[in-house]
Chain A
């Protein structure tokens, strides 16, 4: 078995154990934790498995999206009207926050990690919020802590098992502008666009 296959299998088994522990013994941390065990573990696994930026950067993006989603719920519960327009505005605000943070950090806090964070809170809290929006303060804190703990465990297991912990910590791992080199095939044709191009991502 190749190293890649072995690592993938080990990572999967470790995540499965983590999900099992969360679902089976998660009640130690509250009755709601088992309900979001798989969601949180999966989101954390995604966060830990994607070899893009360092774990801390990925975590930062994740927490940014997580906080933005919570803010979106807060707006819906306390400020915005309970109509599609209100929900649309909340959605825009959440996406905007994640985007602004990613943009401001030059994607050091990656955009995708933010959306994983948004998705994690939505998955654990949307149903509860729809049922009892007036209990936002108490219910949202439970959803935040349970999903965050599940995601943290998945993230922790994935990072350690997949070996992506060191990704992004090398000097060349900092985010760079993508350089696209257009190359004419079979021969360059000056001042003219071509239908066939070869994109090359320069790496060092």
Chain B
């Protein structure tokens, strides 16, 4: 899978991370040891397990077990407690002065899984970025437990609130990643530190409450303790900085309905939202939210935004052709184009997709056409800003010739004048990339 390269590196915590991971992995392997007598094909050493033991299965009712004829000549790929996913990129892109620049680098994800019982699991996912040096960050680090029918989650993880691939006005918790990449398989996948309570309300409904404390400034703290010159003072956050949110999810009459609210004490705002998803000839989704300040509890409605989308696919040849259109409207937002000042800090890493400015306008649109078969995935994606009439278009192809191995190529370009959201002349205004990915 193609992933966004890291933009925020936390090189100084690498040593601590590895110490923690070493301990975590050791425990994970110990817990996942194969039970004595487990059924193995001859000559194959299995180093992990795929499922938790059936703790509730009564011993007095041993069911008939069929052990079929094994294809002993074939190597079985049992899941290991550690999964590695590595991407290697060669990129050519527009540089700051307009010349073409090239770079090659790699990213990797190391996922350490631990499942002590069917009601407890943990995972640490370390992201690495490596060029002529390496930096590391934590994408996920969480533990989940099921207690008395309630699921508790603590740590850093990801999730989806609301509905929408690119524009999702209902995702008040995770939002849309600022470093989203149109050429990536997962366009945006932000994560956050949180504590969550998930309460099932039937088989396909639930309620969830999350608490989102600020991330501990570990790198600043370490730098300070090491006496790094000019190290910033680690910021101390008070209880008033803990955001919290709640939602209810249900599916009456086959339509997915979700509603909730985010409380941001620092900003002094409430952000209620609602989202629906269903099917009428095509898959349809709609999400809407508004930010209500404490000092204006009824709200002026000026922050109201709504996103919607439609998706349909058809069989085409040996694959499936899919078409998706999404849009977002902020009715009281800015409908007049004005030059967007460039950020003084250029992107720290060249990304496979073209770069853009934050979109401040009242309307935005996204379109996607894909064709995928067993081994191929072709895409054409575009973001369009109707207010300043600028656009970003990306196209690419991914080929998966072997299990766990993928090659990809993509091009991406902006089409817009100076100061537009998708300005052609900005750093990274166009980009071409080739690469490969392995998962093992």
Bound together: no
- Give me the interface of A with B, judged by CB distance under 8 Å: none
* Residues on B facing A (Cβ under 8 Å): none
